[in-house]
């Protein structure tokens, strides 16, 4: 079905027959790799890497040179869209991302442009095209974006937050303003992700990092509803190939059933939910991605292998499982432990594909 030499990841997302469970790792390109740290030291800031297509390509490929992973993911940040809207993204060491000009009123929402992915975000589509070319069809390239709600949390708060007081304050005091912001973000994300597909992305993922801080009904109204709009607006086929879409809301174990109704292909699952329970909840309507606690990579190779075995067994027989961590790999993990993790998935998963 595809020109890919290894299409296991695509096949798993679409729940098609496979010889083993594919694996990739969230944040597989990053600070736990010495070659990344070296390039970063030479190149400057994190955003200097993201905005230079050649460097973004190099960083994207680094983990694939080390490990037999089944997918590459664009090296970028979830906050590129608000940055392109003019909010002034910056990073303070140890504090996470922040914006110089947060958005807190209807006037500010109305003034936000919808970024043109081929202008303000051309560095991203250029990176996608470069990576796709350099991958030479080895494995698929995943493009991504943050979810509207998750982008809105950063845009309203202006910086990292524990309580989400400002963004929830807006949600409860001015729901119309909040929906206007989320709607504009959904439109921007649709254009952005479709441009990534046009440039060569072969699968898409939407990261809803902060949907789990909402009540069940607020999650449906303020996060899922706008992700639904995106799923409906994405090109799901390109040059004869299906483009699988994965939604990942951290902390959404209880809501997987309604997420599965959006028409996406795959759901990310964090480690607080057992995959056997998750599979029952989604009634095999979608594939599942996950869900090892990244901290298990601090354990011994034996401990890592045991956990891989447990997670494979919890999903059980079938082709709709993409192995991954339940969150990004931690920067202090030894690359050798990541190698042991990937090896365990390669060795232990074929028995579930008979």
37 is catalytic: no
Give me 165's structure tokens.
């007081």
Give me 197's structure tokens.
């597909």
Q: How far is the CB of 184 from its own copies (least distance, A)?
A: 23
Q: How far is the CB of 298 from its own copies (least distance, A)?
A: 4
Q: How many residues make contact with its own copies (CB under 8 A)?
A: 34
**In terms of CB distance, is 169 or 233 closer to its own copies?**
169
Contacts of 155 (CB under 8 A, 6+ apart): 82, 87, 99, 102, 103, 181
**In terms of CB distance, is 76 or 273 closer to its own copies?**
273
Tokens 């096949």 appear where?
11
By CB under 8 A, residue 164 contacts its own copies:
yes
Buried b (16+ CB within 10 A) or exposed e, 124-153: bbbbbbbbbebbeeebbbbbbbbbbbbbbb
- Whether residue 9 contacts residue 21, with contact meaning beta carbons closer than 8 Å, is answered with no
By CB under 8 A, residue 216 contacts its own copies:
yes
| Selected range binding its own copies among 32-40, 111-119, 206-214, 237-245, rule: CB under 8 A | 206-214
**In terms of CB distance, is 53 or 294 closer to its own copies?**
294
**Residue 316 CB neighbour total at 10 angstroms:** 11
By CB under 8 A, residue 293 contacts its own copies:
yes
Of the residues 7, 70, 77, 270, only one is catalytic, namely 77
- Whether residue 9 contacts residue 343, with contact meaning beta carbons closer than 8 Å, is answered with no
Q: Which helix (H) or strand (E) holds 247?
A: strand 245-249
- Whether residue 223 contacts residue 232, with contact meaning beta carbons closer than 8 Å, is answered with no
By CB under 8 A, residue 182 contacts its own copies:
no
8 is catalytic: no
Per CB under 8 A, residues contacting its own copies are: 163-165, 168-169, 171-173, 212-218, 251, 253-254, 271-274, 277, 293-296, 298-300, 303, 310, 330, 332
- Would you name the residues annotated as active-site residues? 27, 31, 40, 77, 154
């Amino acid at each position: 079905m595809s020109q890919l030499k290894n299409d296991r990841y695509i096949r798993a997302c679409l729940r098609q027959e496979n010889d083993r469970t594919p694996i990739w790792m969230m944040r597989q390109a990053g600070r736990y790799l010495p070659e990344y740290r070296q390039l970063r030291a030479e190149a400057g800031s994190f955003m200097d890497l993201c905005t230079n297509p050649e460097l973004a390509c190099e960083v994207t490929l680094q983990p694939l040179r080390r490990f037999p992973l089944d997918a590459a993911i664009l090296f970028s940040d979830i906050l590129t869209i608000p940055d392109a809207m003019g909010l002034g993204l910056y990073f303070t060491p140890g504090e996470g991302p922040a914006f110089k000009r947060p958005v807190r009123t209807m006037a500010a929402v109305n003034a936000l442009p919808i970024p043109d992915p081929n202008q303000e975000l051309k560095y991203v589509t250029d990176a996608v095209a470069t990576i796709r070319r350099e991958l030479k069809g080895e494995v698929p390239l995943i493009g991504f974006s943050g979810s509207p709600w998750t982008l809105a949390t950063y845009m309203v708060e202006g910086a990292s937050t524990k309580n989400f007081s400002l963004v929830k304050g807006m949600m409860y005091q001015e729901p119309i303003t909040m929906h206007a912001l989320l709607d504009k973000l959904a439109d921007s994300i649709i254009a952005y992700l479709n441009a990534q597909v046009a440039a060569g992305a072969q699968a898409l993922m939407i990261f809803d990092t902060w949907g789990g801080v909402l009540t069940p009904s607020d999650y449906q109204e303020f996060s899922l509803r706008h992700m639904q709009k995106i799923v409906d607006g994405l090109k799901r086929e390109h040059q004869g190939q299906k483009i699988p879409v994965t939604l990942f809301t951290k902390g959404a174990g209880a809501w997987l059933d309604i997420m599965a109704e959006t028409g996406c292909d795959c759901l990310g699952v964090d480690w607080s939910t057992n995959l056997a329970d998750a599979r029952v909840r989604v009634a095999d309507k979608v594939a599942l991605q996950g869900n090892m606690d990244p901290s298990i990579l601090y354990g011994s190779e034996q401990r890592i292998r045991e956990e891989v075995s447990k997670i494979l067994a919890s999903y059980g027989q079938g082709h709709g499982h993409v192995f991954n961590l339940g969150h990004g790999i931690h920067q202090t993990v030894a690359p050798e432990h990541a190698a042991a993790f990937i090896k365990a998935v390669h060795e232990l998963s074929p028995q579930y594909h008979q």
